[in-house]
Amino acid sequence: MRRAFRLWSASAAVLASLITISAQPAPSTVALVIANGTVVTMDGARRVLAPGSVAIDGADIVAVDRPDVIAQRYQGRATIEAWGSVVMPGLINTHTHAPMVLFRGLADDLPLIEWLQQYIFPAEAKTVSPEFVRIGTRLAALEMIQSGTTTFADMYYFEEEIAKETKAAGLRAVLGQTIIQFPAPDAKTPADSLARTEAFVRAWHDDALITPAVAPHAMYTLDGPTLMASRDLARRYNVPTLIHLAETEAELKTAQERSKPSPVAYLDALGFLGPGVLAAHAVWVTEPEIAILKSRGVGVSHNPESNMKLASGTAPVPAYLKAGVAVGLGTDGAASNNDLDMFEAMRIASFLHKLQTGDPRAVPARAALEMATIGGARALGMDRRIGSLAPGKRADVIVVSMSSARQTPLYDPISHLVYTTHGDDVETTIVNGRILMRGRKVLTLDADAVLRDARLMSEKVKLAIR
């Protein structure tokens, strides 16, 4: 009797476990699971899962959770084992001029105006062509994929060529066709630029990766009517407006010549400022003007390396953050940086403001990481789609090795991401669910060909500035 009972109870236990198993739905198949990493989500609660896994299907993140929970619910057709690495949102570079990587190191150690007028503008006038822009964009894309940037905001010429190359490389971008008052490589007059821009915006509207934008260069290189024609164009098509704003002290003088105390006051009086405007630099801005930028819904791209190298000044970033302005981080063009490494940008941003304010608590690691991810997404008006690892967002994800001597030991992944990590530590880069680099091998570009083409083009640049 006892024996029979034991048998019965044993089979009941088997039955019960069978019921439990069948009560759990079979794991659903997804395209990719990134498993067992330290997941730095940058989500609303700023969760860090150590360990954690991320399930990805199609272009989207399906789930972010503990590895056992993900394993129970999802089976990946492919798996990336991320033990010993950080899994985090791809970095967002909110201000660059991608093809200018071809001018990297061409002229250094000069103030902005001299650097622009004696080197960059003449070199651009003689060399910038659709071919130059294609070669430069491929080089920039290679560098960005290798260093964990998944989205960038660009202002340059022949932006349609940049769009094609960016899409082929698999990166996400907000691409602003430049409008400038003097003859440019791709347009003789501002009216030509505006027409080109409109055609570009129409051609790339609704693309999954490319957001077309209007990029009036700056208030000091454009008159009021052209600034407003640019802005109206962006408003008409509901696309972003990218502009350099208050980068150097000299720009204050231009504003004063136009009877306004500053560039911010000038643009505000024109009716230029509003949601959808991303202001690059915003260095020479007063406290009341920070309130104006905030109330108009303007985003700011902070570019500490470029500002330091050109000695332009220090943007009041702690005040922007305190005021709730959406601040992203940018490298600016490689000619004034001289690379596109957003890890370096984070570190320099944090250090610069500590030194400037005399307060080591200024721009802590967490704030720098926010600017490079969710803050950049907010500044670009894309925070519902990118900037953090959360279900329903696009799968723009990077896996960053934490195993080098430089990163050992590891107490706090966020500290390491900002204060010790280099772009070269990125192992895997995923954009819109597509793997662009895995195990340091870039899958969407022929790296050797990209470098060869860039070196060949540099010969033309050398001749141009002779």
Residue 198 β-bridge partners: none
**CA separation for the pair 42, 139 (Å, rounded):** 29
How many alpha carbons lie under 13 Å from residue 408 in its C-beta half-sphere?
5
Of 140-148, 182-190, 210-218, 326-334: span binding Zn ion (CB under 5 A): 326-334
In the complex with Zn ion, the residue whose CB is nearer, 262 or 301, is: 301
Of 27-35, 59-67, 328-336, 340-348: span binding Zn ion (CB under 5 A): 328-336
Is residue 154 a contact point for Zn ion (CB under 5 A)? Answer: no
**CA separation for the pair 426, 400 (Å, rounded):** 4
In the complex with Zn ion, the residue whose CB is nearer, 313 or 364, is: 313
In the complex with Zn ion, the residue whose CB is nearer, 74 or 284, is: 284
Distances (CA, A) of 364 to 85, 135, 141, 353, 436: 22, 37, 29, 9, 31
Q: What is the dihedral of CA 60, 62, 63, 68, to 10 degrees?
A: -120
Quote the least distance from Cβ 157 to Zn ion, whole Å: 13
Quote the least distance from Cβ 123 to Zn ion, whole Å: 15
CB of 39 closer than 8 Å to CB of 49: yes
Mark 279-318 with x for binding to Zn ion (rule: CB under 5 A) and - for no binding. ----------------------------------------
Identify residue 257 by its one-letter amino acid code. E
Is residue 251 a contact point for Zn ion (CB under 5 A)? Answer: no
Quote the least distance from Cβ 178 to Zn ion, whole Å: 10
Specify the DSSP class assigned to residue 183.
Answer: -
Is residue 161 a contact point for Zn ion (CB under 5 A)? Answer: no
Is residue 247 a contact point for Zn ion (CB under 5 A)? Answer: no
Is residue 427 a contact point for Zn ion (CB under 5 A)? Answer: no
Identify residue 190 by its one-letter amino acid code. P
Tell me the residue number closest to Zn ion, measured at CB: 332
CB of 209 closer than 8 Å to CB of 150: no
In the complex with Zn ion, the residue whose CB is nearer, 92 or 414, is: 92
Of 15-23, 124-132, 324-332, 373-381: span binding Zn ion (CB under 5 A): 324-332
**Residue 132 token pair:** 């130059």
Choosing from 143, 289, 332, 370, the residue that interacts with Zn ion (CB under 5 A) is 332
Q: What is the largest CA-CA distance in the chain?
A: 104
* Chain positions contacting Zn ion, by CB under 5 A: 332
